[in-house]
Amino acid sequence: MAARMKRLTAVISIMLVMMMLAACGSNNNTANSSTNTVKEEKPSGETEKAKPVTITWWNFPSFQALDGEVGKYEKEIIAAFNEKNPDIKVNLEMITFDGGPEKLNVAIASNSAPDLIYDAPGRIIDWGKKGLLAPLDDMITDEVRNDISPAFWKQSTVGDKTVMYPINTAPFMMAVNKTIFEKIGALDLLPLDRPDRTWTFDEYKKALQAVKEKAPDVIPSGFFAKSQAGDQGTRAYLANLGISRFLNEDYTQVAINTENAGKALDWIVQAEKDKLVISGSAALAAADVNDLFLQGKLAFTINYSAVLKAQNATLKKAEFEEVLLPFPTLDGSKPKLEPYLGGMAIFNNDDEAKIAASKKFIDFVANDEVYGKKNLIQTGGLSVRNSITGLYNDPEYAYAELAREFITDPPTIADGWADVRTFWFPELQRVLLGEATGKEALDSFAANANKAITDAKAKAQTQKK
């Protein structure tokens, strides 16, 4: 009996080891395949018209839900695409902004990434730098390339390869509850009579003070530092109040740690004490602040855009008119707005047929005669194409188009960005909780972030070798 037990134990052990070896083997393959340089594939037009192909599309809620049903509009796109391309089956999987990024990381690491994704440069460029995406240059015509601003191409390109097909955009801005200012008779404190709506830090402070004095039930403005979601709002707010870039122009170092930006951060802390900024902002997330804005409890929110305005339309819990505004600047200079940029990318899953089919799908989503514009409108955003304007009969969209002149290059394409942004909100928390001055916190952020950028560059160099 004991001998049999030993044999059984031995069999189980061998099975276990075999399973481990098998898994390790497959994993090594994964790593190898993913670190390989992306193979150049034939232009989509040259691919043989042959077998049916199935591709998988993971999509964040980039398009507004049709009839309140998430994914219904995407299914409509697929149905229309299939009328022209019956041989390509598109499997849709809707993911959320909350859990989607984590799900994607796991899928990529376990070699089960989707074929297609509609996302933003923050993640896409990182995947591109890691060699996980198929280049899209062969599907970009000269007409399209010349019709899109170089700033957008910069955010869609890794080295000399285009890894994201840019589709929609909108500058991130602030928003104000205009109705409150009408009620308190202080509309003249907002820069709405200026076509570009630009304004100064001092003008902004006066507007906040007016809300505090004349609308005691309303919190003048929001700020947040709980977590990294929506961090472009806090970044751009500080960068404009302190007239400083976030990173330097070649993305090698942090540039926000200036005296002015430090003072702006100190002002936020004081403003929280003076009830001009919401209390407890260290524990609030961007979504919490926007929720309060949509409930009519907040006069200004700092993380808004034409796209968010459209997406939040059904979430408004109070009747009021929201108006987009650029961030105020210390000296009245032109604001610098980080753009939201949405586009599609293809994961290189080592299947030429799937890559070719995915390119056809991207081309349909972006450039179809009927669905091209329809899709843009459904995102609530503007077209990245200079030639496509006037999609909406809405003064806020007209303003958002005008505000494109203030768009700056965002820091999201820096090396090691995923790590860099993890240092941002803990430093904001330190300041908000009185553990550091604004300048001290920004210097500490700069030290950590600079190291992360340097390490990421060094690691990328090592992997190239």
Residue 341 CB, shortest distance to another protein, in Å, is 21
Whole-number Å distance between alpha carbons of 83 and 73:
16
Asked if 106 interacts with another protein (CB under 8 A), we say yes
* Closest CB to another protein among residues 21, 402: 21
108 binds another protein (CB under 8 A): yes
Q: Does 8 bind another protein (CB under 8 A)?
A: yes
Q: Does 318 contact another protein by CB under 8 A? A: no
Stretch of 43-51, 105-113, 300-308, 358-366 lying at the interface with another protein (CB under 8 A): 105-113
Residues 217-246, interacting with another protein (CB under 8 A): 219, 225-227
Q: Among 9, 28, 91, 333, which residue sits at the site for another protein (rule: CB under 8 A)?
A: 28
Q: Which of 245, 396, 418, 451 binds another protein (CB under 8 A)?
A: 418
Nearer to another protein, 204 or 425 (CB): 425
Instruction: Check residue 20 for interaction with another protein (CB under 8 A).
Output: yes
Per-residue contact flags (x/-) with another protein for residues 47 to 86, judged by CB under 8 A: ----------------------------------------
What string marks each residue from 419 to 458 as x (binds another protein by CB under 8 A) or -?
Answer: x--x--xx--xx-xx-x-----------------------
Where along the sequence are the contacts to another protein (CB under 8 A)? 1, 4, 8, 12, 15-16, 19-20, 23-24, 27-28, 30-31, 34-35, 101-102, 105-106, 108-109, 127, 130-132, 219, 225-227, 278-285, 297, 418-419, 422, 425-426, 429-430, 432-433, 435, 463
